[in-house]
Amino acid sequence: MTSKQEERKPIQEDDELEKGSEDEEDGGMHRILVEIVSALNVPRMDVKSESDPFVEVSMGGQVLHKTKHINDSVNPIWTLETGSLFLLEFAKDSVDLEQSAVFFVVKDYDGPGKKEDVLGAVAAPVKALLNGKGERETFPLDVPPDVLEYNKKKKRFVSKRSKLVLRCKPASIEEYHFIKTLDAKQHGIFANETFLPPRLSNVKSSEGTPQIAGWGAQILATQMGSDKTDSLLEQAFQPSQDWIEVGSGTHGRVYLEVLGCNDLPNLDSPTIGNLNNMTDAYCCLIMEDSIVNTTVIKDTLSPRWLPNDRRAFVFHVHHPSSQLYIGVFDHDKVTRVANAMKDRVHDPIGRVLVNLTHFRPGTLYTLHYHLYLVNNSAEKSRAEQAHNGTLTIRLRIEWGSGGDSIQQPCIKGNDTKNMLIEGMLPPHVEHLAVPNRHDFRVAHYTIVGKYDPQKFNLKTLTGYVEEIQTYVDEEVITMVAAAALTILLWRGHYEIRVFGKSVLVPFHSMAAFAWGVLVTQNYNRFLSFLLFCVAWFFLATNEYRRSHPSPWHRGKSFAELLGALLVGTICGCLGKCVPNVGNTTIEHNENLPAVQAYYDAVKARREQQAKQKEQAIEHAAQMEQEEMKQQMQIDSSAIEGVVNIATGPKDSFMGSMNPLKPILHPVQMILYQVCRYLRITKSIVTWEENYYPFWITLCSMLGALLFFFIPWGFILRWVVRIAVWVVLGPWMKLVDWMYFGKLENMTAEEKKQMLEDDLRNQYQETLARRMRSEEYKEDMVKLKSMLKYLFGKYLLEVPRFRESRFLDYPLPASTAEPVVDALSEADLNVVGQICGQTLTGPMIPTRMIQEHPLLTEEPEDTTSFLRVWGHSVHKSISSSQLKMEEDEPTKGEEKPLLPKTGKKKKKKWYGLFPRLRK
């Protein structure tokens, strides 16, 4: 044994690990996992600021643990970074559980070498800690009298309600291992398992590459919108050879292949060593709690990702309404100077937000999207923005309650019913952690865009104002006027087929006339009519969307989703009687002339509206000038020099507003929240998001049907009768004698006591609401700290709803074709897995990771694993049977993320890709 191996100390002995926190033998050890959660209403001891509290833990006169101090806070929250977790270990026979206690002393930090004031203390019985179950427990702080007297002299609010919040429970083997290997100064200890950085492509194309048969193997070179039909393009459309599983969801899978880009801008300049230096393109893909990057294609403006490149991913999805973000970047060399000086190391080219709710399972999509660099409110429409090329992807979705990995494909036909049920509620808040600063900037642009709404920008501020005005002027008024004319004039709008011919039927006018007759004859139908109006409105907006000439804008119809809910699958049987319902086949450039005519009409209408608005502004300015002439009686030549803010140059005026940033930045944040809610509302109302409006429509229709048969007039009549007899009857005198009379005859002390009781009840309700808010805040702060420690230092939030003003739709060159067979292991060669970042549970959360059976050394019948802090543990193995497989490395030696295995039959995969990370 070498000296280096002799110096290595095991993390824990095998016999101790087997015992864990359980009392399996006499003379064993008690191991208690303790979390110092937070403190409430800590007394203030600093003169000009609040306290800087920290907690010192001791037992039997020995200091066991000390947290870091929280600056300037009377309600501190300790996290993993500030030492909230520690392990309390002692032998069973060494401590009297009935009499012993652990002391938690809250002190005020005043600097190194200075005396630390004691703010309060808690004596927690050891037995209570040992019997804990990890739930949040509040202990009152015993505040010293001198602290109370000091705060009283300073006329500060001193409360006896100062509390310390703890969590405790017996430590499991995995938690013991986690605490023993914990180093709070590190970040991203599992970043290699949850983040896949970009890498340079080393795959060379060959002229004689044979075509590979399989799902989606189509050579559709003309769909790229280019005349380049070279071998690279043919190879790019062949099926991918290597796939990577991504995420930890269990409700469905999204199969995505990045095929290529066209007409990208050149963001690189020629150098002496490389005169042909051009854009080095790669894609960043984010969905829910997962982030991956493709390979980098160097020196080309039309990159093609070949079948051997890292381009194919299987995203395991938690929620059917989750969004897929794709960002295209120019890869540059990452240096310390560039990372510190440049805003972004990798220059953004464009981004795409893929709306998965419009796509149907059992269909293979080849999609082309325009890439737009800017996606903020300063631009009025997509037509006014210049795109930076196109992106081509191939996509397929499977929903169902099948297996957790590719080894167990989703059930045939796809369980769309469960997908709809899951879509009733919004997805959970997802946070994404990345290890490096430049990777954070890439992920931030992919999700948010070029302009950060949190940062002050005059262009963004004015863009929010224009966006709100656009909703009111262009969209709301135009739609309401068109809908009113359609109903009143009995214009046909819904197309049905009668004897092979298309007929437009005015269903809206028929429904309005029928309801008008019903309500005027029987007012009991009024509440039913109100609920029907909600459903009617959503059905009308769905019909309006379905009338779009482009099949990529139509989405799913209400009838299609209702059939999926009742039958369990989405099928095309409704398409025989209703056009464009359940149709999963979309041809190349389908209905292109009608689409172009539609966009030309929209462009002409917007130009006309802009011209009318301009004329109205000029007319208002002229009227204002005329009024000023009449009132001030001055020469018109003096008025001509006045610059009107609405029509004159704005740059100088806006530039002068920069010193008003402290005032305008809060206004910008308010406008951002308003625009954010308007965008979410618009996405629901216009059926951009399919599942929420479907459930609103269905519930409204069922409520209208139920209320239709309820005799509201009879119920209202008897409610009023009962109210009159109860409230206005002579027996109300008894109420006066028994209640109000006693109130008037109460003494001052009794009235004071009753008032105190009422105030106490109100206080308890307020305190309960505050405690719920504090618990939520604590959970979020601790979750973010844990995510940073586990997955990366830089954190950003993934939106739950569609918050982008402009939405991306596939171009007319995109295609869709139905497929029958579900994908299985034989179709895909899975070479790796990128785990999701979803954490569950308090104190030390658990990562639930779906592993591919071919990437592990477990038996073939193994279907699911629980990966807990570096161990791959089969669910049937008890915690007492788990053995340590690694010793703790010495200082300076690389710390292994996962234990090594002795078997060599199959290569064990732990999230490190030697093949993919070259």
Give the model's confidence band at 344: pLDDT under 50 very low, under 70 low, under 90 confident, else very high.
Answer: low
Dump the DSSP string for 753-777: HHHHHHHHHHHHHHHHHHHHHHHHH
pLDDT confidence tier of residue 251, bands split at 50, 70 and 90: confident
- Least confident window among 257-271, 272-286, 475-489: 475-489
Provide CB contacts within 8 A for 731, sequence distance 6+.
none
416 three-state secondary structure: helix
Q: Which of 141-150, 348-357, 780-789, 849-858 has the least mean pLDDT?
A: 849-858
Q: What are the pLDDT digits (tens) for 204-216?
A: 433 333 322 222 2
DSSP bridge partners of 768: none
- Other beta carbons within 10 Å of 709: 9
Beta strands 195-196 and 290-293, pairing class: parallel
| pLDDT over 60 at 865, yes or no | no
Q: What average pLDDT does this structure show over 868-893?
A: 33
How far separated are the first and last CA of the chain, in Å rounded? 33
Range from 68-72, 160-164, 542-546 carrying the lowest mean pLDDT? 160-164
Is the distance from CB of 682 to CB of 688 less than 8 angstroms? Answer: yes
Helices (H), 503-591: 507-521, 526-546, 551-554, 558-567
Q: Compute the distance between CA of residue 264 and CA of residue 228 in angstroms, rounded to an integer.
A: 15
Is 195's pLDDT higher than 50?
A: yes
Band of the pLDDT at 641, cuts 50, 70, 90? very low
Tokens of 74: 């009377």
Dig out the tokens for 781 from the structure: 């702060």
Spell 312-331 as b/e; 16+ CB within 10 A means b. bbbbbbbbbbbbbbbbbbbb
Tokens for 917?
């990370």
12-21, 408-417, 686-695: least confident range: 12-21
Of residues 533 and 643, more confidence is placed in 533
pLDDT confidence tier of residue 230, bands split at 50, 70 and 90 = low
Residue 504: count of CB within 10 angstroms of its CB: 11
Q: What's the rounded Cα separation, in Å, for the pair 239 and 52? A: 60
Q: What's the rounded Cα separation, in Å, for the pair 170 and 65? A: 17
Q: Is the pLDDT of residue 730 over 70?
A: yes
Q: What angle do CA 751, 754, 760 make, to 5 degrees?
A: 140
pLDDT at 526 over 70: yes
Using alpha carbons, select from 29, 38, 11, 25 the residue that is nearest to residue 130: 29
- Per-residue pLDDT tens over the stretch 163-188: 899 999 998 888 888 888 888 788 88
The H-assigned helical ranges of 386-506 are 416-422, 437-447, 458-470, 477-488
pLDDT at 488: 85
Q: 493 pLDDT band (50/70/90 cuts)? A: confident
- Written as one string, the DSSP assignment of 249-267 is -SSEEEEEEEEEEES----
Q: Three-class SS string for 481-518? A: HHHHHHHHCCCCCEEEEECCEEEEECHHHHHHHHHHHH
More reliable by pLDDT, 346 or 472: 346
Contact 173, 69 (CB under 8 A): no
Contact 188, 792 (CB under 8 A): yes
In contact, 773 and 324? CB cutoff 8 Å: no
Ramachandran area for residue 431 (φ above 0: left; ψ -120 to 50: alpha; else beta): beta
Q: Answer left, alpha or beta for residue 841, where phi above 0 means left and psi between -120 and 50 means alpha.
A: left
Q: Which of 687, 689, 683 is nearest to 805 (CA)?
A: 683
Taking the C-alpha atoms of residue 152 and residue 215, their distance in angstroms, rounded to an integer, is 77
Considering only 223-227, 264-268, 585-589, which range has the smallest mean pLDDT?
Answer: 223-227
Tokens of 75: 């309600």
pLDDT, position 6:
36
Q: Which two tokens stand for residue 445?
A: 């642009």
908/334: higher pLDDT: 334
The predicted pLDDT at position 853 comes to 42
Q: At 370, which helix (H) or strand (E)?
A: strand 363-370
pLDDT of residue 79: 92
Tokens at residue 799, please?
Answer: 């939106």
DSSP 10-52: -SS-HHHHHHTTS--STT-EEEEEEEEEEEESPPP--SSS---
Region 899-918: mean pLDDT is: 34
| Residue for token pair 């006693």 | 742
Backbone angles phi, psi at 702, to 5 degrees: -65, -40
What whole-number distance in Å separates Cα of residue 163 and Cα of residue 158? 13
Q: pLDDT digits over 665-680, tens only?
A: 889 899 999 999 999 9
pLDDT single digits (tens) 106-158: 998 888 877 788 888 999 888 888 888 888 899 998 888 877 777 776 666 55
**Residue range 881-897: mean pLDDT, rounded:** 33
Q: What is the mean pLDDT of the chain?
A: 76
Name the least confident of 474-483, 831-840, 884-893: 884-893
Please give the share of the chain, as a percent, with pLDDT higher than 70.
Answer: 74
What's the chain's Rg over C-alpha atoms? 34
* Cα–Cα distance, 546 to 549 (Å, whole number): 8
Question: Span 352-378, mean pLDDT?
Answer: 84
Distance between CA atoms of 228 and 205, rounded to whole angstroms? 15
**Residue 839 host element (H or E):** strand 839-840
Task: Please calculate the CA angle 520-521-527 and round it to the nearest 5 degrees.
Answer: 65
Residues 586, 597: contact at Cβ < 8 Å?
Answer: no
Question: Encoding tokens for residue 596?
Answer: 């172009």
Q: Which residue has the higher pLDDT, 196 or 662?
A: 196
Q: Which residue has the higher pLDDT, 224 or 511?
A: 511
What 3-state DSSP class applies to 804? coil
Give Cα 452 distance to the centre of its chain. Answer: 17
> To which H or E segment does residue 66 belong?
strand 62-66
pLDDT digits (tens, 9 = 90+) for 14-43: 444 444 444 443 347 888 999 999 998 888
pLDDT at 13 over 50: no
CA-closest candidate to residue 828, choices 244, 325, 191: 244
Model pLDDT, residue 636 = 45
Asked if 316 and 272 count as a contact pair (C-beta separation under 8 A), the reply is: no
Query: What's the number of CA atoms in the CB half-sphere (13 Å) around residue 223?
Result: 30
CA–CA distance, 419 with 322 (Å, rounded to integer): 12
Residue 764 clears pLDDT 90, i.e. is over it: no
In tens, the pLDDT along 30-79 reads: 889 999 999 988 888 777 778 889 999 998 888 999 999 999 888 899 99
Band of residue 329 on the pLDDT scale cut at 50, 70, 90: very high
Beta-bridge partners for 795 = 433
Helix count (H) and strand count (E) of the chain?
Answer: 25, 30
- Check pLDDT > 80 for residue 274: no
Q: Report the distance separating Cα 797 and Cα 807, nearest Å.
A: 20
Tell me the residue length of the chain: 918
Q: Name 193's Cβ contacts closer than 8 Å, sequence gap at least 6.
A: 834, 835, 897, 910, 911, 912
